[in-house]
Structure 1
Amino acid sequence: MSHAHTDWIPPRGRWLVAAAGTGLHLCLGTLYAWSFFQKPLVDAYGWNHGEVVWAFSLAIFFLSTGAALGGLLLPRVTPRALAMSGAFLFAIGHLLAAAAVAFRVLPLLWVGYGVCGGLGAGLGYVVPVATVARWFPDRKGFATGMVIMGFGLGALLASKALAPALAALGGGNLAVVFSGFGIFFLLVALPLGARLNRPPDDREERRSWRDLPAELRLANREVWSWRFAILWAVFFCNILAGIMLIGFQSPLLQEVLRAAHPAMNAAELAAAGATLIAGSSVCNGLGRFAWGAASDRFGRANAFRAMLLAQAAIFLGLRFVKSPLLFGLLVGAVLLCYGGGFGVMPAFVMETFGARRMAEIYGAMLTAWGAAGVAGPQIVAWLKDHRPEQAASQVFLLGALLLAAGFVATLLLRNPSNCPLDAAFAAPAPSVSRISRV
């Protein structure tokens, strides 16, 4: 779709599509509020941290899998169909989680929240950005940035609005909370998904299913290259740091608060944890803008070097922090870098491998998200179950070492200015703001 002519008129209703995409991402991003549920589930049902956190690990794993699958499906189906399918699965996942809690069936929690909810979030994740970008060829950076911000702010919606209100309504019954989430998504996320469609003047033809094997074969050669392996490792380390804190930030803060203020009761501690989740979600969203803009100016590899090195220093510092306020600020700084990785990597992939195979290769890159989503929370859970007194200190030390390893890997990367795989490889490198970030 071109808007080079001066008589180009923006299609009517495009801001409604942008608002719908942002709203859908806001709903799906509530997955990042998992730490709100982690400690209450352990305390109320006698399950240990390792058992409970599998629900979150599976959700992130299947989110990344669903996003990769959605990237292949979107050129072949309508945005509305894919978005509504994802929203429906996401809602059903929460209703299954409610049943799991009500009947104390832990595997059902894994299947419902983890597999079904995660897959639904992944399928819905890819639709808003790609679709909204088509409606805003003249303001693509602003429109897609708004949508991406919505996903980062999902934990704010969950931790400071939905979850507390539903907990109060149900007297703290978590089955009521999960049921309320599921019903809310059926009533809100499904209609939002229904608003996502291509603009009327969109001339791009749907891809044929017969072309899919050939496209995958072409992308597969790059996926097994050393360049992809190094980028994957860097992305994995950056995600791992943030996901370790996202899954347990509320319990970790409550430990710091309990040591500093022994008189605080459980409700006060939970409220403080919810506030941290909300604040860190803002940082997650803002980081996608800030680090994306920084990488435009200073280079993609340099941006990852800065993020990884800064986080390694922060994780070392967290081992000695006794102040709850300072702890919260440092967690926010880590989440700025976590979001930043998702803001920088799409442009890095496009510049390294070319725009033609962007969807397939970036879909494969998202497997780093799934792998980190399993490894990070499980590491923290194992330490909290088996070494509760030293868990926090050892988590931060291990995180610092992994981040340092990621920094070393970035030294093998360069800041690409063009890509020989593109026909127009001599053109200037694209700005992050011009790319439809998945």
Structure 2
Amino acid sequence: MTDNSSSLLDRSRTVAGPGYNRWLVPPAALAIHLAIGQAYAFSVFNKPLGALISGDVDKPASDDWTPLQIGVTFSIAIVLLGLSAAVFGKWLERVGPRKAMLAASLCFGGGFLIGALGVHLHNLWLLYFGYGFVGGIGLGIGYISPVSTLIKWFPDRKGVATGMAIMGFGGGAMIGSPLANNLMNHFKASAPMGVAPTFIVMGLIYLVFMQFGVWTIRVPADDWKPAGYVPSTEHNDLITTANVSADNAIKTPQFWLLWVVLLCNVTAGIGVLETASPLIQETFSDSAMGPGKGVTAAAAAGFVGLLSLFNLLGRFFWSSASDKLGRKVAYAIYFGLGMVLYALIPTLGHNLQLTLFVAVACVIISMYGGGFATAPAYLSDLFGKYQVGAIHGRLLTAWSTAGVLGPLIVHYLSNSRKAQGLSGAAAYQTVFYTMAGLLVVGFIANIVVTAVNERYYEKGPVTIEPGAH
């Protein structure tokens, strides 16, 4: 097949020419991550989906879906995010980001449309298949598609580059949540709770919005490098100038240590995100603070929004800082400072120190986001940029695991304490102490990371396979 007959989707058609401005690439990445980041706002559908038959979120009918049944939808999506990122990572490196981004947009948008049919028919399995399975595949492919491309464009600023894209995923809920609420209110008169038409409109909006990223993404030529850039490992013996394939990377202890690092960081972060609203309301209630002085449901929603903002900002701030600090030092901060702050949360709640409580939670969540955004740069340091997208995809199975493990730990420990008659901060005390313990494990795993042994390096020069076949 010649270049003249190659498809517009082939990687060969996305290689940038001489003089291309690399700062045009981050907006393309953001278009994908801002869209798929809607997943963080799925909880906005929880109550409406649980009242499709009764029409009253406070009085669900016996045939309405339960909160647990609805919550499984999000869990499926997160599990499929990790699995699809792992399965399709090498395919992405071969065909290039344009084809992968298009596949992600079709799956993510299509997942909404299939989910809409499930809502309309009140078929839970169709909702699981649509938003959970198909949409989850879109999440996984979309999450990793821009990352390896950005690392190739910004070898001198890997943390800044990946932070810009993954920041978008953290901020997607800030767009998706009000969009969903406004659409459901608009369609409420024409469909049960307005959910099905909202799914349709959102699916189409995201499908179209993601096309900006699909058609504007560019990859650098294999021999391209920033003007004046000279790879250096002078200040960090973890950074390699060699390359390790995805298949060899998973044979190294470094990969599995980073898998544990991400698992601990994400599981602990979910501990805060899962409990944020009920924890602050139950801890700083009217009975504890005084009549009319407790945290209301609206104020708790504002607290959750504030955490989303710090999740977003932390992804860019901490990953950018890691360019100066080094990835290992950055994670040492996430875990070292994090374990202290997690252990402090119950005490601040017990002493009714609301302002400090909110401030500490915001710092914790900023480092949770930072851990996500720093991971691809850490992988590139250790394994090179050859198949970093595929390696990152396999690492994200830790996220899938944490997405199941985190809520299980939180619900089991908090419900056990509540069954003992404890409430407020006391009910969540073991949750936060357990998460602090997890951070100790992550801290140790990060500390023992060393440079990858040369026997895993690719021999001779490496090039990415062309997309045209």
User: Once the two structures are superposed, what CA deviation does each residue of 1:68-110 show, in whole Å capped at 9, x if it has no partner?
Assistant: 2342122211422210110111112222333333333333332
Matched, 1:202 2:194: no
**What is residue 28 of structure 2 aligned with on the other side?**
20
Q: Does 1:421 align with 2:454?
A: yes
Over 3 Å counting, the alpha-carbon distance change for 1:314 and 1:143 in structure 2 is: closer
- Corresponding residue for 1:128? 146
- 2:198 is aligned with 1:177: yes
* Mapped contact 1:250–1:274 kept (Cα < 8 A): yes
Q: Deviations over 1:297-332 (max 9, x none)?
A: 545344333323433343344335256665544432
1:350-389 correspondence runs (5 A): 350-353=380-383, 358-381=388-411, 387=418
> Are residues 1:74 and 2:83 paired?
no
More helix by share: 1
Among 6, 11, 21, which residue is 2:20 paired with?
A: 11
- CA gap of 1:76–1:423, structure 2 versus 1, over 3 A, is closer
Out of 317-326 and 276-285, give the one that drifted further: 317-326
| SS of structure 1 residue aligned to 2:122 | coil
CA distance in 1, matches of 2:251, 2:143: 26
Q: Work out the CA distance in 2 between the residues paired with 1:195 and 1:373.
A: 32
Q: Secondary structure at the match of 1:195?
A: helix
Offset, 1:42: 4.8
Larger Rg: 2
Q: Residue 311 and residue 398 in structure 1: after superposition, are their counterparts in 2 closer, same or farther (change >3 A)? A: same
1:157 aligns with 2:185: no
**Deviation, structure 1 residue 38:** 3.5
* 8 Å contact from structure 2 (residues 113, 200) kept in 1: yes
Instruction: Give distance in 1, aligned partners of 2:415 and 2:67.
Output: 6
Tell me whether 1:286 sits opposite 2:319 in the alignment.
no
Moved more, 378-387 or 278-287: 378-387
1:368-415 CA-to-partner distances (Å, cap 9, x unmatched) read 111001121344455677858758755552343243233145335437
Listed as ranges, the gaps of 5+ residues in structure 2 are 1-16, 52-56, 225-243, 458-469
Quick one: which amino acid aligns to residue 376 of structure 2?
P
Cα 1:18–1:110 shift into 2, 3 Å: same
> In 2, are the aligned partners of 1:250 and 1:273 still within 8 Å (CA)?
yes
* Deviation by residue 1:262-302 (Cα, 9 ceiling, x = unmatched): 879xxx83x54553343222212222233334444545344
Q: Are 1:35 and 1:250, in contact at CA under 8 Å, matched by a contact in 2? A: no
Match of 1:96 in 2: 114
CA contact (8 A) 2:249 2:255 kept: no
Partner of 2:466: none
Note closer, same or farther for the CA distance 1:140–1:296 as it changes in structure 2 (3 Å cut): closer
Q: Does 1:86 align with 2:135?
A: no
Distance in 2 separating the partners of 1:289 and 1:241 = 20
Q: Distance in 1 between matches of 2:279 and 2:86?
A: 32
Cross-structure match for 1:243: 270
2:187 touches 2:198 (CA, 8 Å); kept in 1? yes
> Contact 1:94–1:113 at 8 Å: present in 2 too?
yes
Measure the CA separation in 1 of the matches of 2:157 and 2:110: 35
Quote the Cα distance in structure 2 between the aligned partners of 1:360 and 1:81: 15
**How much does 1:219 deviate?**
3.2
2:136 is equivalent to residue 118 of structure 1: yes
Please say if residues 131 and 196 of structure 1, whose CA atoms lie closer than 8 Å, have aligned partners that are also in contact.
Answer: no
Structure 2 Cα separation of the partners of residues 416 and 382 of structure 1:
32
Structure 1 unaligned blocks of 5 or more: 1-7, 206-213, 425-438
Closer, same or farther in 2 for the Cα pair 1:348/1:19, shift >3 Å?
A: closer
Which stretch shows the higher mean deviation, 411-420 or 18-27?
A: 411-420
What residue in structure 2 maps to residue 332 of structure 1? 362
Q: Give, in whole Å, the separation in 2 of the partners of 1:104 and 1:262.
A: 42
TM-score (norm 1): 0.76
Report the number of matched residues.
401
When residues 326 and 184 of structure 1 are mapped into structure 2, their CA distance, relative to the original with a 3 A threshold, is farther
Per-residue CA deviations over 1:180-232 (Å, capped at 9, x if unaligned) read 3212212322x224324435x62479xxxxxxxx955433422xx3x443332
3-state SS of the aligned residue for 2:20? coil
Task: Give the corresponding residue for 1:403.
Answer: 436
SS state at 2:447 partner: coil
